Amino acid sequence: MGKTLTDIAKQLSTPRQVRSKKTTKVEVTAQVPKVQIIYAFNGTGKTRLSREFKRNIASKISNDGDQTSPREKILYYNAFTEDLFYWDNDLEGDSAPKLKIQPNTYTDWLLTLLKDLGQDANIIKYFQHYANDKLTPHFSEDLTEVTFSLERGDDDHTGNLKISKGEESNFIWSVFYTLLEQVVTILNIPEVGERETDKFNHLEYIFIDDPVSSLDENHLIELAVSLASLIKSSPPSLKFIITTHSPLFYNVLYNELNSKSCYLLQRFEDGSFSLTEKQGDSNKSFSYHLHLKEILEQAIAQNQVERYHFTLLRNLYEKTASFLGYPTWSELLPGDKQVYLKRIIQFTSHSTLSNEAVAQPSEPEKQTVKLLLNHLKNEYGFWKQVEAND
């Protein structure tokens, strides 16, 4: 029987038996793992899980009669964090678009800390590293507004620019990551009275949900390595939960971090969930392709092929073509119907018309999914080899 996200959130904060080896002695203690990495497809419920985790921490504080606030116990980054940043497009003047920060208790606390710690320069430096070293954010004095310009040298720069959605995501992550660096630096000072601020003294959890959606692979790897390095340098009392839909990001974190627990989050048709722990080598060669194949096989067997299964099928063909070195995924299609089948997959996986998006696939279209999945399994031998070794 599946679980609710509330159940899974409680599971992530429940101490478990952990073996640790100090010199020649092995100790077994009950504790929450230092790092928990969760892989899930987009739309599974990663962001909702981060919200449930925060609620669970708040509930535990209330039940224990603790006087600290949830904000003092957990620091999180998710899609809702990005929603706190919005654009004032200056529709009247059309010359001064600003990225504004929605005032609430979280952003007020965040901005006060960044201002007190003098971290605006570090945010700019980190952002330019992942975006463009000429693209420069300019903070208002109270750090509630940000404008952007391209600095061309010799005091020459463009007027205010509205940056792309990807650059905006990078900027917001830069704000969070800069604060996270400060958290680790400050908590690594053992004498509480010598710390620059006491705002992090009760912090226990960092929950990070998919910070990589707008990065290319090189920067994604670099970010994962930097994050892993920061985690390894953090005090043992600080616990990290990281969720992602990116197999590459997952794999880099897995390889970089020594002490971690790894999971696959799945959502079932009835709306329930499972959190399956993945052990050992199953993480090194994370079975993203095999999982896609299993989803398609199950849909075909139950005659429940939906429009989104065409997207998964195309994804599977793209990944397989890349793995085998083919220039395009369509070259893997059966030769005698290659053009026709390519059009079918493109039409069903990239339709933008509302009536097409909700329409059920026809029976011939469902049979196309079965035909193409079987073709991929039968014609490209590495599938059989992987299955035999799994």
> What is the tens place of the pLDDT at every residue in 39-65?
888 888 999 999 999 999 988 887 777
Average model confidence (pLDDT) across the chain = 81
Q: How far is CA 154 from the centre of its chain?
A: 39
How confident is the model over 309-331, as a mean pLDDT?
Answer: 78
pLDDT of residue 384: 45
pLDDT, tens digit, for every residue of 13-27? 999 876 665 555 656
CA-to-CA distance for 135 and 168, rounded, in angstroms? 11
Measured in whole angstroms, the distance separating CA 91 from the mean position of its chain's CA atoms is 33
Collect all residues with Cβ–Cβ distance below 8 Å to 365 and sequence separation of at least 6. Answer: 305, 310, 344, 348
CA–CA gap between residue 352 and residue 365 (Å, rounded): 18
Please enumerate in sequence order all residues whose Cβ is within 8 A of that of 50, keeping only pairs 6 or more positions apart, or say none: 76, 78, 207, 209, 241, 243
d(CA 307, CA 345): 10
- What SS3 class is residue 197? coil
Which range is least confidently modeled, 153-167, 206-220, 313-327, 345-359? 345-359
Sign of the torsion angle spanned by Cα atoms 146, 152, 157, 161: negative
Residue 148 near residue 160, CB atoms below 8 Å: yes
- At residue 316, the pLDDT reads 82
* pLDDT(368) > 90: no
Q: Residue 204 has which token pair?
A: 């226990």
Q: What's the average model confidence in pLDDT over 349-356?
A: 39
Tokens of 37: 């990495």
pTM tops 0.75, yes or no: no
Two structure tokens written together for 72: 């003092």
The answer, yes or no, to whether residue 348 has pLDDT greater than 80, is no
Closest alpha carbon to 215 in 207, 205, 206, 225: 225
Q: Residue 114: pLDDT above 50?
A: yes
> How many angstroms separate the Cα of 60 from the Cα of each of 9, 83, 223, 380?
12, 27, 32, 52
Domains and CATH numbers, the chain: 1-68+202-286 (3.40.50.300), 80-174 (no CATH), 288-389 (no CATH)
- pLDDT tens-digit readout, 173-185: 999 999 999 999 9
**Rounded-to-integer distance, Cα 172 and Cα 175, Å:** 5
CA distance 36 to 199: 24
> What integer is the mean pLDDT of 100-108?
84
Q: From the CB of residue 77, how many other CB atoms can be counted at a distance below 10 Å?
A: 22
DSSP 282-339: HHHTT-HHHHHHHHHHHHHHTT---HHHHHHHHHHHHHHHHHHT-SSGGGGS-GGGHH
**Lowest mean pLDDT: which of 51-65, 218-232, 299-313, 344-358?**
344-358
**Residue 327 neighbours by CB under 8 Å, 6+ apart:** 321
Using one digit for the tens of pLDDT, what is the confidence trace for 139-166? 888 888 999 998 876 665 666 888 998 8
What's the pLDDT tens digit per position in 211-238?
867 777 778 888 999 999 999 999 999 9
User: Residue 281 — pLDDT band, cuts 50, 70, 90?
Assistant: low
Residue 358, pLDDT above cutoff 70: no
All residues at 6 or more sequence positions from 33 whose CB lies less than 8 Å from its CB, including other chains: 16, 18, 239, 259, 260, 261
Identify the weakest region by mean pLDDT among 132-136, 140-144, 301-305, 335-339: 335-339
> Which are the contacts of 373, defined by CB distance < 8 A and separation ≥ 6?
293, 296, 297, 300, 313, 316
